[in-house]
Amino acid sequence: MISRVTAGSMAHTAMRQLQSNLAQLARLQEQATSQRAFSSPSDDPAAAATTLQVHAQQRRNDQYARNIDDGLAWVTTVDNAISSSTVLLQRARDLIVRGANDGALDATAKEAIAVELDGIRGELLARANTTLLGRSVFAGTSDAGVAFDSSYTHTGAAGAQVLRRVSDGTTVRVDADGAEVFGTGDDSVFALLDAVVADLRSGVNVSGHLSAIDRRMSAMLGAQGAVGARQNQIERAKEAAVDDAVSLESRRAAVEDVDSVEVLVRLQAQELVYRSALAVTGRVLQPSLLEFLR
């Protein structure tokens, strides 16, 4: 059976083809100007779904990067505070060794040592109350404002920790337990130095305090080692986050962005196709008999 082809059907088919070519041309022009492979999810549902997943991973990775930077600030602050505290405590030990030499020191010399030790105790207390952005780095989650009050009591809750999530499934502690580093109350390094100062001023030999000073020094060094290990862990997480950021951006660009050169070539080809279609349509759709009769 032979179907009947009319001028109207030819015109309708030609216009449909022209519209299709024009739509393709418009899509390529949009890609060339926006540099994006699609402008709406309906253009490429599969690519749009992949893009949403990649963007979600990028946002999660960006949050991890912020957590890492904040965590590094915490552990660096803690490490610096403990490091300076060990230097102060070593100076205090040297002074105690000197002050224990009763035969070579008179009351005036011992008073001078006592005054310096008292100053070291004040500096140690200041280090123990180190803060970062208004929060004490040795008081855990406490909001007391200071890790140690005037009675040298540790204000942090037992077992409370400041944590930062640095990757999927990895959480790192970024603070330090002030009671572990400096002691608390009468067992604190501050009370210990007060006792040394009192003995110097009362004429009691202070050599018996050296073992307590050494124990406190060991506790500080042990805490500093643990902080250093956590700092290394966060540094490794930072390197991984940077690598993930680069990888995710490459995946996003592969799905969402276009190759500029390829798009321009396709755009020029489509322009040629459209112009050719216009020329052919103009030649094929000649005036009909009715138009001649008019």
pLDDT at residue 255 tops 80 = no
Residues 283 and 231 in one domain: no
Structural domain contains residue 94: yes
Answer yes or no: do 181 and 211 share one domain.
Answer: yes
The pTM of the whole model exceeds 0.75 = yes
Tokens linked to 278? 């216009």
Backbone angles phi, psi at 165, to 5 degrees: -85, 120
- Do both 73 and 214 map to the same domain? yes
pLDDT of residue 34: 61
Determine, yes or no, domain membership for 83: yes
Question: pLDDT tens-digit profile of 7-64?
Answer: 666 666 767 776 776 666 666 566 666 666 666 666 668 777 888 888 899 999 999 9
In a domain, 2, yes or no: no
Model pLDDT, residue 132: 93
The rounded distance, in Å, linking the Cα atoms of 243 and 22 is 43
Task: Decide if 154 contacts 184 (C-beta within 8 A).
Answer: yes
Considering only the C-alpha atoms of the chain, give the largest distance between any 2 of them, rounded to a whole number of Å. 138
Out of 36-50, 173-187, 195-209, 280-294, pick the least confident: 280-294
Residue 45 lies in a domain: no
In a domain, 46, yes or no: no
Same domain, 148 and 61: yes
Q: What are phi and psi of 11, to 5 degrees?
A: -65, -40
Q: Inform me whether the pLDDT recorded for 293 exceeds 60.
A: no
Classify strands 163-167 and 135-136 as parallel, antiparallel or unpaired.
unpaired
- Reported confidence tier of residue 267, pLDDT bands at 50, 70, 90: low
Higher pLDDT, 20 or 179: 179
pLDDT at 249: 84
**Do 59 and 15 belong to one domain?**
no
Rg (CA), the chain: 38
Residues 141 and 197 in one domain: yes
Tell me, yes or no, whether 72 and 153 share the same domain: yes
- Residue 154 scores a pLDDT above 90: yes
Those residues whose C-beta lies under 8 Å from the C-beta of residue 15, and which sit 6 or more positions away, are none
- Residue 175: CB atoms within 10 A of its CB come to 27
Assess if residue 223 is contained within a domain.
yes
Tokens 């024009």 correspond to 22
Domain-embedded: residue 285: yes
Q: Which residues pair with 164 in a beta bridge?
A: 172
The answer on pLDDT for 216 being more than 90 is yes
Residue 215's CATH number: 1.20.1330.10
> What domain range includes position 143?
53-252
- Do 140 and 221 belong together in one domain? yes
The answer to whether residues 81 and 124 touch, using CB atoms and an 8 Å cutoff, is no
In this predicted model, which residue has the larger pLDDT, 139 or 285? 139
Q: State the total domains in the chain.
A: 2
**Are residues 64 and 26 located together in one domain of the fold?**
no
More confident residue, 13 or 199: 199
71 and 152 in one domain?
yes
Domain co-membership, 59 together with 157 = yes
- The answer to whether position 146 is within a domain reads yes
- Is residue 78 within 8 A of residue 172, CB to CB? The reply is no
If you count them, how many residues does the chain have? 294
If pLDDT is split at 50, 70 and 90, which confidence band does 250 have? confident
Clarify whether residues 142 and 276 are in a common domain.
no
pLDDT confidence of residue 123: 96
Report pLDDT digits (tens) over 99-143.
Answer: 988 777 888 999 999 999 999 999 999 999 999 998 999 999 988
Q: What is the mean pLDDT of residues 241-252?
A: 89
SS3 156: coil
CA distance 77 to 131: 8
Residue 277 banded pLDDT, cuts 50, 70, 90: low
Range 135-142 contact pairs with CB under 8 angstroms and sequence separation of 24 or more: 135/162, 136/178, 137/74, 137/77, 137/78, 137/81, 137/162, 137/175, 137/176, 138/78, 138/81, 138/175, 138/176, 138/177, 138/178, 138/181, 138/182, 139/175, 139/178, 140/175, 140/177
Q: What pLDDT was estimated at residue 79?
A: 96
